[in-house]
Amino acid sequence: MAKILRKLRLAPGINEFVVDAPLIARKAEPGQFLIVIIDEKGERIPLTIADLDRESGAVTIVFLEIGKSTMELGQLEAGDEIAHISGPLGKASEIPQGETIVFVGGGVGTAAVYPIARKAKESNKVISIVGAKNKETVIWEDKMKDVSDRLIVTTDDGSYGRKGLVTEPLKELLEQGGIDRVVAIGPPIMMKFAALTTRPYGVKTVVSLNPIIVDGTGMCGACRVRVGGVTKFACVDGPEFDAHEVDFDLLLKRLATYREEEELAKRLFLERGRK
């Protein structure tokens, strides 16, 4: 059991939970993820570790209420217990030294980018681009500002920061030159277009993939992704991969495999409420 120590509503449908998980807090490194199981009937929900405090044993997760299980998770409050949290899972991010790195966070992906940018800031120049649909859904702007030499915020509708997609300032930075690496985490379509944007400039680009995850330990094969023409398991070989090698179209197709079932589960959940 893991107790929710604090709950913060960051934006409509986006929650931040600080959870008591000392074993994970002691070991986790930026880029790793965990699996949450709400109760004995619960689905396994993979979530990136967004922050942690090794001393107090607290781990922060940020999630979008997108389907039945994440909506159910969003109904929990501070003081409630989560049945199981396993982790840290996956490989830690590779943190270079002495580079200029552009971190791109799309929507809730900003919380996944944050711990990597924070670590990278210790030995690199960090430029961050944070994108969201609108002003209301921009998250962790202050935290990103703290770990960035420069921060650019974009919104799709122009209600805050620059109007447009994250790939627009990304292209401008690449045009100006001097960028050694790009780390982009957000919706798969954003990561695909971030990869297409950086490819002509030959700048190393890293993405954190979010395929369907079941066991998270390399046993079931649910998280298969194609990288460089080879099948990889995102949960143990990733979740981070070279963006220029990733078959994003296959990832998007596989993510849609259970869309009908997911929609049905969500509809039933909304009709019946939590069991």
List residues near ligand NAD by CB under 6 A: 64, 66, 106-109, 112, 131-133, 154, 156, 165-167, 185-187, 189-190, 193, 208, 210
With CB cut-offs between 5 and 8 Å by kind, which of ligand FES, ligand NAD, none does residue 166 bind?
ligand NAD
Q: Please, which residue, 108 or 151, has the CB nearer to ligand NAD? A: 108
All residues at 6 or more sequence positions from 49 whose CB lies less than 8 Å from its CB, including other chains: 24, 28, 30, 32, 33, 34, 59, 60, 61, 87, 88, 115
Smallest separation, CB 198 to ligand FES (Å) = 27
With CB cut-offs between 5 and 8 Å by kind, which of ligand FES, ligand NAD, none does residue 221 bind?
ligand FES
Smallest separation, CB 254 to ligand FES (Å) = 12
Smallest separation, CB 103 to ligand NAD (Å) = 13
Site for ligand FES in 202-221 (CB under 6 A): 213-216, 218-221
With CB cut-offs between 5 and 8 Å by kind, which of ligand NAD, ligand FES, none does residue 213 bind?
ligand FES
Q: Please, which residue, 102 or 112, has the CB nearer to ligand NAD? A: 112
- Which residue type does 1 have? M
At 135, phi and psi to the nearest 5? -55, -45
Smallest separation, CB 29 to ligand NAD (Å) = 17
Smallest separation, CB 73 to ligand NAD (Å) = 13
The span from the CA of 94 to the CA of 89, in Å, is 15
Enumerate the H helices of the chain as residue ranges. 22-27, 68-74, 109-121, 141-146, 167-176, 188-198, 234-237, 248-255, 259-272
- Which residue type does 259 have? R
Token representation of residue 148 = 């960035």
Which of 5, 23, 92, 222 is close enough to bind ligand FES by CB under 6 A?
A: 222
* Chain position carrying tokens 């982790």: 87
CB crowding 249-275: b at 16 or more within 10 Å, else e? eebeebbeeeeeebeebbeebeeeeee
Binding to ligand FES by CB under 6 A, coded x per residue (else -) over 225-264, reads: --------x-x-----------------------------
The span from the CA of 198 to the CA of 102, in Å, is 11
Which residues are at the interface with ligand FES (CB under 6 A)? 213-216, 218-223, 233, 235
